[in-house]
């Protein structure tokens, strides 16, 4: 069973640029959640996708957007990058649709540095 | 503001010492509770979870946690730590099944051999 994978591993961008991060969910999982983990902080929820529809969003501006594809992989797009966007971006997949049970399996993350 | 609080930022222990990491949350109603661990260079992994039933839950690697509803707490314990337990530990709350995890800031555990 393949776990959650993310690409790229590391990324350096300059302020104002746009970035796309990618996530492949674990086999059999239809739900993908994205988190931002700043240095020394816990992960913060950005948004979640369930069967290609956004299913909840955290306190992040609209320049953070996402997609989920029919194979349940997902993208996180960030426009107009700011220095504070520098962080580890985590993707987590879960089986979804099962009331009372929702273990999220995390990928290794993408380290984004904005200069 | 509603939140998840982890009391200890950095804990330093010797091998065989007992461990207790505190976690409190400020959300009312029914919640699901989790402890995740991040070993150096590895991704977040689930240690244990509580959804309902027995408030004392056992996880992997000898960890356990106790849910005390009246105190809004979900403290993590291990009777005897090992050097390999050196990691960052995160408490997380899920307010509705299948939705966002709300994490605490994490506790760094350093175990000396």
pLDDT tens digits along A29-38: 999 999 999 9
Residue B59 pLDDT exceeds 90 = yes
Neighbours of B102 (CB within 10 A): 22
Residue A108 has pLDDT above 90, yes or no: yes
Query: Between chains, do B101 and A48 touch, taking CB under 8 Å as contact?
Result: no
Asked if the model's pLDDT at residue B97 lies above 90, the reply is no
pLDDT of A98 higher than 70: no
Instruction: Tell whether A20 is within 8 A of chain B (Cβ).
Output: no
Q: Using the predicted structure, report yes or no on whether residue A46 has a pLDDT greater than 80.
A: yes
* Per-residue confidence band for B96, with pLDDT thresholds at 50, 70 and 90: confident
For the stretch B14-48, pLDDT in tens is 999 999 999 999 988 889 999 999 999 899 999 99
Look up residue A99 and give its two tokens. Answer: 């009331």
Cβ A99–B97 below 8 Å, yes or no? yes
Beta bridge partners of B65: B57, B76
With H, G, I as helix, E, B as strand and everything else as coil, classify residue A86: coil
Whether residue A95 is predicted with pLDDT greater than 90 in this model: the reply is no
Interchain pair B4, A42: CB under 8 A? yes
Residue B48 and residue A33: Cα distance in Å, rounded? 19
Q: Is the pLDDT of residue A2 over 80?
A: no
| Rounded Cα gap, residues A51 and B44, in angstroms | 24
Work out the percent of chain A whose per-residue pLDDT is above 70: 94
- Rounded to the nearest integer, the mean pLDDT of chain B is 93
Of A43, A48, A100, the CB nearest to B99: A48
Of B49, B100, B105, the CB nearest to A48: B100
DSSP state string for A2-31: ---EEE-SEEEE-TT--EEEEEEPPTT--E
Query: For residues A77, A57, B100 and B36, what is the CA-based torsion angle, rounded to 10 degrees?
Result: 40
DSSP bridge pairs for A12: A113
């Amino acid at each position: 069973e393949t776990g959650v994978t993310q690409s790229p591993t590391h990324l350096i961008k300059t302020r104002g640029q746009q970035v796309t991060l990618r996530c492949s969910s674990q086999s059999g999982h239809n739900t993908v959640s994205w988190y931002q983990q700043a240095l020394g902080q816990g992960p913060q929820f950005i948004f979640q996708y369930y069967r290609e529809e956004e299913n909840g969003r955290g306190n992040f501006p609209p320049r953070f957007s996402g997609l989920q594809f029919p194979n349940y992989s997902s993208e996180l797009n960030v426009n107009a990058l700011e220095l504070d966007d520098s962080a580890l971006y985590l993707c987590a997949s879960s089986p979804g649709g099962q009331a009372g049970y929702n273990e999220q399996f995390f990928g290794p993350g993408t380290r984004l540095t904005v200069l | 503001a509603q939140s998840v609080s982890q009391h200890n930022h950095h804990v330093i222990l010797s091998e065989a010492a007992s461990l207790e990491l505190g976690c409190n949350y400020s959300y009312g109603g029914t919640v699901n509770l989790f402890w995740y661990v991040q070993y150096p260079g590895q991704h977040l992994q689930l240690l244990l979870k509580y959804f309902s039933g027995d408030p004392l839950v056992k996880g992997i690697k000898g960890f356990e946690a106790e849910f005390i509803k009246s105190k809004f707490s979900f403290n993590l314990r291990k009777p005897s730590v090992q050097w390999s337990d050196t990691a960052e530990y995160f408490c997380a709350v899920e307010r509705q099944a299948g939705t966002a995890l709300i994490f605490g800031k994490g506790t760094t555990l350093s175990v000396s051999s």
